[in-house]
Structures are given as structure tokens and as C-alpha cells.
């Protein structure tokens, strides 16, 4: 009996890591990645993607980590409705948002991304990052083909698809140098990419990240009329998630700044910040120390 219960538990646990397209609300669907670093075991399913069904067809926001994952997503979208995919919008250049884009390009979607992603692609830097990531993660990204954006966003772009409106707004530099958010004004829904979290530590250590820019981006979002926030990770959030994220970033910046002024070295700062109010939140062990190092080096360059 106990063995049976154990097997059942394993089965349920196993299933919870499977991709499962869920309805968020009318015509908005999501898949929810796990709160882990990418691995062969989780197949890189560590981020969310969204699909919005309009009268003209689908709009996808973020494309998961691999073509295998995005094909699974597309199959599940087609099970809801076999309609054309009009656009795939990439919130920033990280693998878990961009590397599955080929699947949607193959079925005719126009790929939309920020100028920063386009430039990374054009410079060949994106290719080196892919090769490096594939090496570091045991071949996880071996079937990834990098996809060039068809439509490049500098600051702002408005899209109308069917009767839905999408405002694509640059928020960069923040998490990276290619961050965009997507706002549906009539529905007051914000797709925030990797800029907003709830009870999960943001990753601030990208070479192009700016903690100062990220604070400004969050303050801009605070002024927007938002009912629901759909992020690149996390379950659907309400607006209080903006305060949570801003709280963590400001906590790091202020504490590190103060300790630097007291003449403390990075190792002392790191030790002092191990016990923080955020220590029980998701991805703390994975991201917190890297964030401290990055913010410390950013502050060296700030006037």
C-alpha cells in the first residue's frame, strides 16, 4: 500500500513538470515553467510562455528554451484552436524566452523583439552565447536555431490583431539591454517578461543588466493601470509584485552602497547580506550572491 502511494506521488510529481497549456482568462493561455535552473532533466522548461487568441489568429509572448518545447506549446495551442500564429513577441534575449522562436517562424509568425536583441544577433554575439550555453548545459540547446526578428522595437510599437490591442514598450536597460513589456490596454493585462516577480528573486547579474534602470522601469510600471501581471516566471501576479521586486532591488542597492561607503570589501558585504528578508524566496540560492557581485560592480561606476 505504501509503495503504491509512493508510486502515485511520483506520478503526480512527474506530471507537474509536464507542459500543460492553462487558460488564464478569456482567450489568454499560459504554460508555467518550473522554478529551477535549466537542466537536461527539466529539458529547459524553466520559463513561462503565453498565447493570446484573437479573431485573426494567435499572438505568442515568449517562445521557451528549445524548439522541442515550443513545438509542444504549438500543438497544445492548436488543440484549443487551429488558427494561424500571427506574431511571436520575445521579451528579451535570454535562452528561455528566445530559443524556441524557430517553431513559430516556421508556421509564418512575424517575430518581434527589441533593437538590443537584433544587434546581439547581427553582431554574432548571440551565436557565441548559444554555443557557450550548449556546452554548459550538456547539449540542451543543440537543436536551437537563432531567429532574426522581423520587426524591431526601439521605444514603442502598437499592434492591433483582430479586436485586441497590444502596446509593446521598451523598458531597457533593466534585466538585460533588450527588455520589452507588452500591455493590453483594454484588458489592463501586462506581460512583464523577466522584470516583475512575486516571492522569487530576480536575476540581476546579466552583463547588460542595470539595477538603476530596473528601478526606473518598475516605477514606470507602477504608474500604469494594471489588473494582472503575467511574467516570464511565477504564476499570474497582481500589482503588488512590482513593489516586491522594487523592494528587493532597492534593498540590495541601498545596503551595498552603505557598506561600500563604510569601506567594506565585497566578501564582507556578501557575508553581511546572506541573512536577508528574502532568504526563503524561490531562486535565492541560485541568484542572490551573483546579484550582490553585479550590483557592487555597478555602484563602482555610478557617480
Looking at the Cβ atoms of 164 and 194, the one nearer to Zn ion is 194
> What nine digits make up the cell of 216?
526606473
Q: Got the DSSP string for 121-167?
A: HHHTHHHHHHHHHHHHTTTTTTT------SEEESSEEEEEETTEEEE
Q: Is 288 near Zn ion (CB under 5 A)?
A: no
Q: Which stretch binds Zn ion (CB under 5 A): 22-30, 116-124, 187-195, 249-257?
A: 187-195
Considering only residues 35 through 64, tell me which ones interact with Zn ion, judged by CB under 5 A: none
Q: Is 266 helix (H, G, I), strand (E, B) or coil?
A: helix
Between 259 and 283, whose beta carbon lies closer to Zn ion?
Answer: 283
Residue from 62, 194, 281, 296 that binds Zn ion (CB under 5 A)?
Answer: 194
> Considering only 27-35, 89-97, 223-231, 291-299, which stretch makes contact with Zn ion by CB under 5 A?
89-97
Cell numbers given for 264: 567594506
**Least CB distance to Zn ion at residue 66 (A):** 15
Give the number of residues in contact with Zn ion, rule: CB under 5 A: 2
Signed CA dihedral, 83, 191, 50, 141: sign only:
positive
Measured CA to CA, the distance from residue 231 to residue 197 in angstroms comes to 7
Listed ranges 90-98, 219-227, 235-243, 265-273: which one lies at the site for Zn ion (CB under 5 A): 90-98
Report the SS3 class of residue 86. strand
Residue nearest to Zn ion (CB): 94
The CB-side HSE value for 118 (13 A sphere, CA atoms) comes to 13
Q: Is the peptide bond before 122 cis (omega within 30 degrees of 0)?
A: no
Nearer to Zn ion, 86 or 233 (CB): 233
Minimum Å gap between C-beta 175 and Zn ion is 6
Question: What length does the chain have?
Answer: 303
Q: CB 153 → Zn ion: shortest distance, Å?
A: 17
Query: Residue 179: which residues within 8 A CB-CB, separation 6 or more?
Result: 91, 92, 114, 116, 170, 171, 172, 173, 193, 194, 195, 217
Closer residue to Zn ion in complex, CB, 99/244:
99
User: What minimum distance in Å lies between the beta carbon of 92 and Zn ion?
Assistant: 6
We find the least distance from the C-beta atom of residue 214 to Zn ion, in angstroms, to be 12
Residue with cell 479573431: 55
Q: Is 94 in the site for Zn ion (CB under 5 A)?
A: yes
179 near Zn ion, rule: CB under 5 A? no
Q: How far is the CB of 135 from Zn ion (least distance, A)?
A: 19
Binding site residues, Zn ion, CB under 5 A:
94, 194
Amino acid at each position: 500500500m505504501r509503495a503504491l502511494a509512493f508510486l502515485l506521488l511520483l506520478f503526480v510529481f512527474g506530471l507537474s513538470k509536464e507542459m500543460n497549456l492553462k487558460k488564464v482568462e478569456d482567450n489568454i493561455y499560459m504554460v508555467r515553467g518550473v522554478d529551477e535552473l535549466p537542466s537536461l532533466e527539466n529539458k529547459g522548461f524553466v520559463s513561462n510562455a503565453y498565447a493570446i487568441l484573437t479573431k485573426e489568429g494567435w499572438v505568442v509572448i515568449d517562445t521557451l528554451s528549445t524548439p522541442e518545447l515550443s513545438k509542444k506549446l504549438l500543438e497544445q495551442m492548436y488543440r484549443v484552436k487551429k488558427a494561424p500564429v500571427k506574431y511571436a513577441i520575445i521579451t528579451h534575449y535570454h535562452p528561455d524566452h528566445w530559443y524556441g522562436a524557430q517553431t513559430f517562424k516556421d508556421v509564418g509568425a512575424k517575430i518581434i523583439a527589441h533593437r538590443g536583441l537584433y544587434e546581439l544577433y547581427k553582431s554574432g554575439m548571440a551565436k557565441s552565447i548559444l554555443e557557450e550555453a550548449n556546452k554548459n548545459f550538456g547539449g540542451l540547446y543543440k537543436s536551437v536555431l537563432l531567429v532574426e526578428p522581423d520587426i524591431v522595437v526601439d521605444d514603442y510599437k502598437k499592434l492591433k490583431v483582430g479586436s485586441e490591442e497590444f502596446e509593446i514598450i521598451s523598458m531597457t536597460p533593466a534585466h538585460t539591454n533588450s527588455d520589452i513589456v507588452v500591455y493590453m490596454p483594454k484588458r489592463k493585462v501586462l506581460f512583464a517578461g523577466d522584470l516583475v516577480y512575486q516571492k522569487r528573486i530576480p536575476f540581476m547579474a546579466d552583463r547588460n543588466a542595470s539595477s538603476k534602470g530596473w528601478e526606473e522601469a518598475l516605477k514606470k510600471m507602477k504608474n500604469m493601470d494594471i489588473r494582472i501581471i503575467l511574467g516570464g516566471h511565477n504564476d499570474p501576479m497582481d500589482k503588488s509584485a512590482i513593489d516586491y521586486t522594487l523592494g528587493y532591488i532597492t534593498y540590495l542597492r541601498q545596503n551595498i552602497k552603505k557598506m561600500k561607503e563604510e569601506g567594506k570589501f565585497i566578501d564582507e558585504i556578501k557575508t553581511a547580506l546572506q541573512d536577508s528578508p528574502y532568504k526563503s524566496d524561490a531562486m535565492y540560492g541560485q541568484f542572490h550572491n551573483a546579484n550582490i557581485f553585479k550590483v557592487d560592480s555597478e555602484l563602482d561606476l555610478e557617480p
